Structure 1
Amino acid sequence: MEPLRVLELYSGIGGMHQALRESCIPAQVVAAIDVNTVANEVYAYNFPHTQLLAKTIEGITLEEFDKLSFNMILMSPPCQPFTRIGLQGDVTDPRTNSLLHILDILPRLQKLPKYILLENVKGFEVSSTRDLLIQTIENCGFQYQEFLLSPTSLGIPNSRLRYFLIAKLQSEPLPFQAPGQVLKEFPKLESEHPEKNTIVAENKIERKKIEPNICFDNGRQCSGKEAILFKLETIEEIDRKHQQDSDLSVQMLKDFLEDDIDMNQYFLPPKSLLRYALLLDIVKPTCRRSTCFTKGYGSYIEGTGSVLQTSEDVQIENVYKSLTNLSQEEKITKLSMLKLRYFTPKEIANLLGFPPDFGLLRTFYTKMVMLFKIVCNHDPNNFTIFVLICEFIPF
């Protein structure tokens, strides 16, 4: 097949480009567009031969789009208008304007793209913006399928539930379609190219030998009924975490961690330990789960992502149960025994599916939180994008 000419919108640090590259589908990204200067520096470092446009999408005219002569669009529009904890401004949020501009431009292109792949947060599927998207692509003659997918379904120990839409022109039938449904798992296909499934299963998502994992350190696997509530968690939450850690189809976090680096800068400060002790989502290298990392990771604690317990010989329950009636200094001393730290930007990138040689250019920035922000905020999970592209594009 002729190489696809791909337009990458909201390109971030290049997650979709990386997934496309690893799919081995013949393709050229003819232009990547993003306004974030820091993300663009990382993108340019890793994809030096791609035309990178540091401009707003709303400022690109129909004529400029036509000149790019693309036949595939990859895009991950701003998610803030649709997030559960946000204002859910939807079409009234100014950050939606760029996507609305694309939907206005799409029917007027000289030549429609063959393929569209869009990613956003859970919540987009019930938005008015989504309804306008569907109306637009249907009027243009596309078939489409919507998904809500998490990388945990691919054996990746990170919960990052996201909305995906894939669309093809009618002349390119989808190998799977459930009209009106948002699928919550990857389609099970009988591919005409079984070697393609082998690539997906073996090359990209390589499963290392998985050993049985124990939920607690006391040598026995606990159920929710046996669990001890030592933090602000319910029995149901603890039981869910135990089930996740017992899922042998998911890799352990240790497979994604960095070795032999100075971790001192990543340890949680004493004030954070004291203030947020009961709210932290704490995981160990042997766990098979972590919560979604957000752009506030490294700056804020609550709800921004898991932290890693690096002192594996210390039982977390014993530490928490001993905090009662202690002074603040004594509590800090006890909590410090756990050696809790943030995941590094590189480790988060590993969980998102970026390869080991992907450069994050740490030396470019004075603040580590900037690296956290661009990695957590700008890119979807590459593992998920990779599988969708492989099943989406015939080759």
Structure 2
Amino acid sequence: MWTMSPPCQPYTRNGNMMDLDDPRTVAMKHTLYLISQVRPHYIFFENVKGFESSNGQKMLVSILSESAYSFQEFLLSPLQFGVPNSRLRYYLIAKLEGKGSLMQDLEAISYKPYFDRKLYQCNCPVCSGRSRSLENDHVNHFERNLEFCDRISAYLEADNLAEPHEGHKLIDEKVLEKGFSKLDIVTESSNKTCCFIKCYAKKIEGSGSYYQMTSCEEAHQLKQLLLNGDISSLDYAKRLKLRYFSPREIANFMCFPQSFRFPETVTRAQRYRLLGNSVNVKVVAHVLHWLISA
């Protein structure tokens, strides 16, 4: 089995959108050439949403078709699997002729995880048949899947959710003063967080969600004080006790096992970068299971 997750910058909205003209696609193009020569039995490919409409995707499916592969493409989010994290990604799985067949439609990419074989002892929304297609849904909200998602409290480190844990870092006052309105703020009862990317805790807007340790009841009271002019906007933001999610918590949202540990030599910033460039383990496990068991 060959697994591929080439650089996403040529296809992401925050990148340069140069597609195959981006020098970072050289390795992918060479690997696709090798696929046509070596013809591995199984292929797994992952990238960002946006790849599905790129010239890179056209090159990928063209080589697979010419090399006698059956394949299926998906756009899937962890939200469909009950995980309270939005991370919509493109997946392709392929089998060489003679190794079984996958459902295939060159005109459509599936938004629905319709896997016909359950993971052993898995009762997630996909395996239990509760998950729904994202097609025609608003890609930034996924309301139709939120009812199946866990609350984020199940993914947090500390037992005392109202106070900072040793590994937690409060958002700096200067950041609150400049970028409070841009923060995606969630509470322990929320069932959705934004996609965490490699610049989390460095870039505020669009890099992930931030946790409010103040209770919703207290936050409502603070909001009333703000509206009445009794406290300033900065005081309001500070008293919400907003913090960054820790690398361990983001690893939880990415469904890494509790046994997973970073080496002590890896800094906090490096951990955020590595996790931002990683994959959701639960989603990938389901996709790979269907590939090898179909």
TM-score category by the smaller chain?
0.7 to 0.9
Displacement after TM superposition at 1:369 (Å): 1.6
User: 2:124 & 2:82 partners in 1: Cα distance?
Assistant: 14
User: 1:372 & 1:205 partners in 2: Cα distance?
Assistant: 28
Any gaps of 5 or more consecutive residues in structure 2? 129-137
Paired residue for 1:26?
none
User: 1:251 & 1:160 partners in 2: Cα distance?
Assistant: 15
Displacement after TM superposition at 1:174 (Å): 2.6
Displacement after TM superposition at 1:159 (Å): 0.4
Matched, 1:156 2:83: yes
1:121-180 Cα offsets, whole Å, 9 max, x none, are 000011111111111111111111110000100000000000000000121233533342
Paired residue for 1:35?
none
Matched, 1:184 2:105: no
User: 2:24 & 2:119 partners in 1: Cα distance?
Assistant: 40
Matched, 1:374 2:274: yes
Matched, 1:249 2:148: yes
Amino acid at match of 1:256: Y
Displacement after TM superposition at 1:205 (Å): 9.1
Paired residue for 2:208?
305
Paired residue for 1:283?
186
With over 3 angstroms needed to count, the CA separation of the structure-2 counterparts of 1:177 and 1:106, relative to structure 1, is closer
Paired residue for 1:79?
8
User: 1:264 & 1:371 partners in 2: Cα distance?
Assistant: 13
SS in 2 for 1:138: helix
Amino acid at match of 1:291: C
The answer to whether the 8 A contact 2:114-2:126 is kept is no
Q: 1:355 aligns with which of 242, 257, 262?
A: 257
Tell me how large the CA RMSD over aligned residues is. 2.9
User: 2:100 & 2:224 partners in 1: Cα distance?
Assistant: 59
**Structure 2 length-normalised TM:** 0.86
Q: 1:94 aligns with which of 2, 15, 23?
A: 23
User: 1:266 & 1:286 partners in 2: Cα distance?
Assistant: 20
Displacement after TM superposition at 1:332 (Å): 2.8
SS in 2 for 1:100: helix
Question: Structure 1 runs of 4+ off > 6 angstroms?
Answer: 203-207, 324-327
1:279-303 Cα offsets, whole Å, 9 max, x none, are 1110011110000001110111101
Displacement after TM superposition at 1:187 (Å): 1.5
Paired residue for 1:46?
none
The answer to whether the 8 A contact 1:90-1:129 is kept is yes
1:88-107 Cα offsets, whole Å, 9 max, x none, are 01111111111011012222
The answer to whether the 8 A contact 1:310-1:338 is kept is yes
SS in 2 for 1:159: coil
Displacement after TM superposition at 1:320 (Å): 4.7
1:361-392 Cα offsets, whole Å, 9 max, x none, are 2x213x42221111112x11111110011111
Any gaps of 5 or more consecutive residues in structure 1? 1-71, 192-196, 208-236
The answer to whether the 8 A contact 1:144-1:177 is kept is yes
The answer to whether the 8 A contact 1:204-1:383 is kept is no
SS in 1 for 2:101: coil
For the pair shown, the structure with the greater C-alpha radius of gyration is: 1
User: 1:170 & 1:264 partners in 2: Cα distance?
Assistant: 50
The answer to whether the 8 A contact 1:314-1:337 is kept is no
Matched, 1:201 2:104: no
User: 2:281 & 2:95 partners in 1: Cα distance?
Assistant: 21
Paired residue for 2:132?
none
Matched, 1:383 2:282: yes
Q: Decide which moves more: 334-343 or 255-264.
A: 255-264
SS in 1 for 2:146: coil
Matched, 1:364 2:293: no
SS in 2 for 1:163: strand
User: 1:390 & 1:137 partners in 2: Cα distance?
Assistant: 20
1:103-114 pair list within 5 angstroms: 103-109=32-38, 112-114=39-41
